[in-house]
Chains A and B, each alone.
Chain A
Amino acid sequence: MSIAPISKSGPFTHTTSSVPKTMLTVLLALVPATAFDAYLFGWPGILLFAVTVGACVAVEAGCLALAGLPMKAALGDYSAVLTGWLLAMSLPPWAPWWTGVLGAVFAIALAKHTFGGLGQNLFNPAMVARVALLVSFPVVMTAWVMPHPLFSAGAPGFSDAVAITFGGNLPDSVSAASALGYVKTELSRGIPVTQSMAHVPDLMDMALGLRAGSMGETSAILILAGGLFLMARRIISWHIPLGMMGALFLMGTLFHMLDPARYTDGMFHLMSGATFLGAFFIATDYVTSPVSKPGQLVFGIGCGVLTWVIRTYAGYPEGMAFAVLLMNSLTPIIDQYTRPRAFGRSRKGEPLPLEGK
């Protein structure tokens, strides 16, 4: 009998984990929150979600065809589905269909494939798309609606939803500000945080998702559950989420203590906006975050601090996407400064001194 010669050195055994399995696990972790959001925002949300994910996969296929790359392996890794999913969750649920399609082009074609495809991109594709849409179409991208649960009174039926998503017929009456946006607007009118906070949903409602916002901003509890599931499955470690949420909470609490009229408190920062989605699903993106654990902690803390700074001082009420993108640009340099110490060597790479010599 003959055995084909092995042309590769060992090992001759491998883990069963793979890229598609990893991506599928992340998708699975998003399912509960997504399902709940689909219920909260009804048919328009579902249609936009389908359009966005579908467009991402289509753009991915187009880019692969243009680059002459094998289609099956790349589409089979579910990375485009995940990007589309996360992008959909960061859009206003009742936004028109073209935001999803344009977002897909930004995310997949510009942010991912111009850099060389999976693993090569410097910036998180979903956040590039969200930010590009936000700065280009600020009105559409901030047209938040209060939840209109499926089958409830006043919820749009399927045909109304088609009109909303594909016809651009967003009913004027339904738009509402997100909590972060409301506080920011009030503050700019000279109304202190202490007063405006009385009009935002209480923390429990925010955690449950009974508030205006994107799909990923609502249902914080289910996002948190998904994140903990990913940690239990060892897809992500605690470094980025804890670093990010911890920094955000600390900054919020500290400044709130100094001046409660100007600064919202730490708990509000944690529960509002896309904090959980960002901390567990966006900032933890493998490709655009540092590879070492200490580096991930630095990255997470940076995301948290920047999110707080942008939310507090910048023109946009939510700063998560900007913060992640800014930290993405620092990932290579964080990687360079947080390399582990090699066995038998000092941090500087010199051999360790012999004891007693």
Chain B
Amino acid sequence: MKLFPIRGGIHPDYRKELSSEKAIVALPLPELLYIPLQQHIGAPAEALVQAGELVKKGQLIARSQGGISAPQHAPTSGRIKAVTDIPAPHPSGLPQPTIILEPDGKDEWTDLPEPIADPLNADPQMIRERVAQAGIVGMGGAAFPSAVKLDLGTRYKLEFLLLNGAECEPYLTCDDRVMREHADEVIDGARIMAHTLGVKKIVIAIEQNKPQALAAMTGAAFTFSEVDVVGVPVQYPMGSERHLVQAITGRETPAKKLTADIGVVVHNVATARAVHQAVRFGRPLLSRVVTVSGGAVREPNNIEAPIGARVADLVALCGGFSGEPASLVNGGPMMGQPLPGLEAPVVKGMSGVLALTAGEVNEQPAGPCIRCGACVAICPCGLVPVEMAAFIRKDNFDVAAQLGVMDCVSCGSCSWACPSHIPLVHYFNYAKGMINAQERERRKNERIKLLAEAHNARMEKLAVAAEAKRAAVAARKANLAAATGEEKVEA
């Protein structure tokens, strides 16, 4: 298959060898599971259980609310200990409503929905409902409810499903292992998804630094002529949705549009596996593979962990820390979020837990910009980070927006490449937040203005009406007086 170049990009130290040869191991059931009600983009789920209640594995414990949301299920059987607020796996570390489940060790399944017989000929709506019920969200990290994305076929003219197995983030090997060990499940899930989207063709893109995954997936796809497994160049951020679509099709998704607008829907490989399990076995999303790696981890590993297991449990299975980690990251080192602590639970979008040494992070105090232009050359979005940062430093968000800061995907390439260690992405995230806040404020003011104007108009109308009434009354009185006067004269 002919591939197309993408702009810029970097070649960081991948260090995937730390965990790439470790087969997926299941985490023994921890003492407690902490299941946050919000693990996805959209509205948080609503808890359906109370403290003391007994639940079985796979039982719905929180239902989705609204169009973009996802339900949560009990990852094992046990007793609900509490529904309370605990710090979320989010950089803020703010508390978030969470269901705490105490496993009983029996791991007893609830009555699961019937498998969908012959899903490749089933009604797409039925599959979408099943995926929504199973609480499946994008497992590459974005955690967008998958059922919503599987609905795109009804609104867009689609050409093919692009399965993202690029895994361009350094350290992460969870998708690599899933593709190597469960290639058949991934391919089956992808075929079900393609059918649901109403597309014939499937392209599976895998970075060439994963030859075993490429071989396994090519082998598993061999009998399906509609599936193409493609090795893509090792170039961060190849796994970025829009860039991967460009590498495969040569087409550039226009700003403010979706890849679906140019005929492609992108899903992650682990998501495809989850769809396979939901459709073929009725199993909701209860666990995910997490790469635990980094120089500060004694034995890096790929762990299939139940949702809600604490990061500390995973680290313990890896033999703990070999040294004090300089930073603890949720996800990959490029686009991951800082983890507030080891108490944070595993959530559906958590692809990795990294404990990095100071040497790996190589954090230095920021120096003056020498305008070397490295950030301009490597920006995959064609932006000028050096210029945007200069304006953001002065809180000049209007110019920063004109220069395209809202088009930045926060891939981190510029911050990585900066020889002066200027935290460019930090500036851009700050600017995006401020611009969004200003936009909200502007809309609010507009609404207030509109309401005030409507109010004034209404008041004016009332005043005019009252005036008219008063005039009418006065006129009648005058008429009446005149009439009686006339009568008097006549009398």
Interface residues in chain A, defined as those with a beta carbon under 8 Å from any beta carbon in chain B: 1, 3, 5-6, 8-19, 21-22, 73, 77, 79, 117-120, 286-287, 289-293, 296, 335, 339-345, 349, 351-355
Interface residues in chain B, defined as those with a beta carbon under 8 Å from any beta carbon in chain A: 7, 10, 12-13, 91, 93, 170, 242-243, 251-257, 261-262, 321, 324-325, 327-329, 333-338, 340-342, 354, 356, 360-365, 367-373, 376-377, 379-384, 386-387, 402-404, 407, 410, 412, 415-421, 423, 425-426, 429
CB nearest neighbor in B for A17? B419
Q: Find out whether the CB atom of B429 lies under 8 angstroms from the CB atom of A9.
A: yes
Bound: A21/B421 CA distance, A? 13
Residues from chain B with Cβ under 8 Å of A290 in the complex? 373
Bound: A351/B360 CA distance, A? 38
Q: Find out whether the CB atom of A119 lies under 8 angstroms from the CB atom of B369.
A: yes
Bound: A340/B385 CA distance, A? 11
Given A9-B426, A19-B420; A343-B372 close (CB under 8 Å): no
Given A19-B367, A291-B386, A293-B377; A11-B416 close (CB under 8 Å): yes
Chain A residues touching B, majority SS: loop
Q: How far is the CB of B403 from chain A (nearest CB, A)?
A: 8
Q: How far is the CB of B241 from chain A (nearest CB, A)?
A: 12
Q: How far is the CB of A300 from chain B (nearest CB, A)?
A: 13
Q: Find out whether the CB atom of B419 lies under 8 angstroms from the CB atom of A21.
A: yes
Q: How far is the CB of B336 from chain A (nearest CB, A)?
A: 6
CB nearest neighbor in B for A341? B382
Bound: A218/B385 CA distance, A? 39
Q: Find out whether the CB atom of B404 lies under 8 angstroms from the CB atom of A342.
A: yes
Residues from chain B with Cβ under 8 Å of A21 in the complex? 419
Bound: A50/B81 CA distance, A? 76
Q: Find out whether the CB atom of B371 lies under 8 angstroms from the CB atom of A291.
A: yes
Q: Find out whether the CB atom of B242 lies under 8 angstroms from the CB atom of A343.
A: yes
Bound: A120/B335 CA distance, A? 30
Q: Find out whether the CB atom of B420 lies under 8 angstroms from the CB atom of A12.
A: no
Q: How far is the CB of A333 from chain B (nearest CB, A)?
A: 13
Bound: A16/B418 CA distance, A? 10
Q: Find out whether the CB atom of B360 lies under 8 angstroms from the CB atom of A13.
A: yes
Residues from chain A with Cβ under 8 Å of B170 in the complex? 13
Bound: A355/B420 CA distance, A? 41
Q: Find out whether the CB atom of A349 lies under 8 angstroms from the CB atom of B324.
A: no
Bound: A118/B372 CA distance, A? 12
Q: How far is the CB of A355 from chain B (nearest CB, A)?
A: 7
Residues from chain A with Cβ under 8 Å of B373 in the complex? 286, 290-293, 296
Give 8 nearest A-B pairs by CB, closest first. Answer: A11-B412, A6-B338, A291-B373, A352-B254, A351-B255, A344-B255, A119-B368, A340-B382
Given A5-B93, A18-B364, A291-B376; A11-B254 close (CB under 8 Å): no
Residues from chain A with Cβ under 8 Å of B335 in the complex? 10-11
Bound: A12/B404 CA distance, A? 24
Given A1-B321, A287-B371, A340-B384; A9-B416 close (CB under 8 Å): no
Residues from chain A with Cβ under 8 Å of B363 in the complex? 14
Given A14-B361, A286-B373, A344-B252; A117-B242 close (CB under 8 Å): no
Q: Find out whether the CB atom of B338 lies under 8 angstroms from the CB atom of A291.
A: no
Residues from chain B with Cβ under 8 Å of A293 in the complex? 373, 376-377
Q: Find out whether the CB atom of B426 lies under 8 angstroms from the CB atom of A8.
A: yes
Question: B328 is contacted by which of A3, A14, A286, A345 (Cβ under 8 Å)?
Answer: A3
Q: Find out whether the CB atom of B371 lies under 8 angstroms from the CB atom of A345.
A: no
Residues from chain B with Cβ under 8 Å of A339 in the complex? 384, 387, 403
Q: Find out whether the CB atom of B426 lies under 8 angstroms from the CB atom of A14.
A: no
CB nearest neighbor in B for A77? B367
With A13-B12, A291-B371, A296-B373 known, 6 other A-B pairs at CB within 8 A are A3-B328, A8-B423, A10-B333, A12-B354, A22-B370, A343-B242
Given A21-B419, A343-B381, A344-B242; A10-B362 close (CB under 8 Å): no
Residues from chain A with Cβ under 8 Å of B13 in the complex? 13
Bound: A289/B423 CA distance, A? 22
Given A5-B93, A13-B334; A343-B407 close (CB under 8 Å): yes
Residues from chain A with Cβ under 8 Å of B421 in the complex? 14, 18
Q: Find out whether the CB atom of B376 lies under 8 angstroms from the CB atom of A14.
A: no
Q: How far is the CB of A85 from chain B (nearest CB, A)?
A: 16
Q: Find out whether the CB atom of B377 lies under 8 angstroms from the CB atom of A342.
A: no
Bound: A339/B354 CA distance, A? 36
Q: Find out whether the CB atom of A73 lies under 8 angstroms from the CB atom of B329.
A: no
Bound: A22/B251 CA distance, A? 37
Residues from chain B with Cβ under 8 Å of A3 in the complex? 324-325, 327-328, 341-342
Question: B333 is contacted by which of A12, A18, A292 (Cβ under 8 Å)?
Answer: A12
Q: How far is the CB of B157 from chain A (nearest CB, A)?
A: 9
Residues from chain B with Cβ under 8 Å of A352 in the complex? 252, 254-255
Q: Find out whether the CB atom of A355 lies under 8 angstroms from the CB atom of B262.
A: yes
Offer 12 A-B interface pairs, CB within 8 angstroms, sorted by A. Answer: A1-B342, A8-B423, A10-B410, A12-B327, A12-B354, A13-B334, A14-B418, A18-B364, A286-B372, A344-B252, A344-B256, A349-B402
CB nearest neighbor in A for B384? A339
Q: Find out whether the CB atom of B419 lies under 8 angstroms from the CB atom of A15.
A: yes
Q: Find out whether the CB atom of B262 lies under 8 angstroms from the CB atom of A354.
A: yes
Q: Find out whether the CB atom of A14 lies under 8 angstroms from the CB atom of B384.
A: no
Q: Find out whether the CB atom of B382 lies under 8 angstroms from the CB atom of A355.
A: no
Q: How far is the CB of B140 from chain A (nearest CB, A)?
A: 16
Bound: A289/B376 CA distance, A? 13
Bound: A117/B368 CA distance, A? 9
CB nearest neighbor in A for B369? A119
Interface centre among A6, A119, A339, A349 (most CB of B within 10 A): A6
Q: How far is the CB of A16 from chain B (nearest CB, A)?
A: 7
Given A10-B336, A12-B356; A342-B372 close (CB under 8 Å): no
Residues from chain B with Cβ under 8 Å of A16 in the complex? 362
Q: Find out whether the CB atom of B368 lies under 8 angstroms from the CB atom of A120.
A: yes
Q: How far is the CB of A337 from chain B (nearest CB, A)?
A: 12
Q: How far is the CB of A70 from chain B (nearest CB, A)?
A: 10
Q: Find out whether the CB atom of B356 lies under 8 angstroms from the CB atom of A335.
A: no
Residues from chain A with Cβ under 8 Å of B328 in the complex? 3, 6
Q: Find out whether the CB atom of A343 lies under 8 angstroms from the CB atom of B12.
A: no
Q: Find out whether the CB atom of A10 lies under 8 angstroms from the CB atom of B254.
A: no
Q: Find out whether the CB atom of A11 lies under 8 angstroms from the CB atom of B425.
A: yes
Question: A351 is contacted by which of B256, B329, B354, B356 (Cβ under 8 Å)?
Answer: B256
Bound: A6/B363 CA distance, A? 11
CB nearest neighbor in B for A13? B333
Q: Find out whether the CB atom of B371 lies under 8 angstroms from the CB atom of A119.
A: yes
Residues from chain B with Cβ under 8 Å of A73 in the complex? 365, 367
Bound: A3/B377 CA distance, A? 35
Bound: A341/B242 CA distance, A? 16
Interface centre among A6, A11, A351 (most CB of B within 10 A): A11
Residues from chain B with Cβ under 8 Å of A8 in the complex? 423, 426
Residues from chain A with Cβ under 8 Å of B379 in the complex? 340
Q: How far is the CB of A295 from chain B (nearest CB, A)?
A: 8
CB nearest neighbor in A for B363? A14
Given A14-B364, A119-B370, A119-B371; A342-B255 close (CB under 8 Å): yes
Q: Find out whether the CB atom of A10 lies under 8 angstroms from the CB atom of B425.
A: yes
Residues from chain A with Cβ under 8 Å of B416 in the complex? 11, 13-15
Q: Find out whether the CB atom of B361 lies under 8 angstroms from the CB atom of A342.
A: no
Q: Find out whether the CB atom of A19 lies under 8 angstroms from the CB atom of B384.
A: no
Question: B376 is contacted by which of A19, A340, A353 (Cβ under 8 Å)?
Answer: A340
Q: How far is the CB of B469 from chain A (nearest CB, A)?
A: 55
Q: How far is the CB of B379 from chain A (nearest CB, A)?
A: 7
Given A3-B325, A340-B376, A343-B252; A10-B415 close (CB under 8 Å): yes
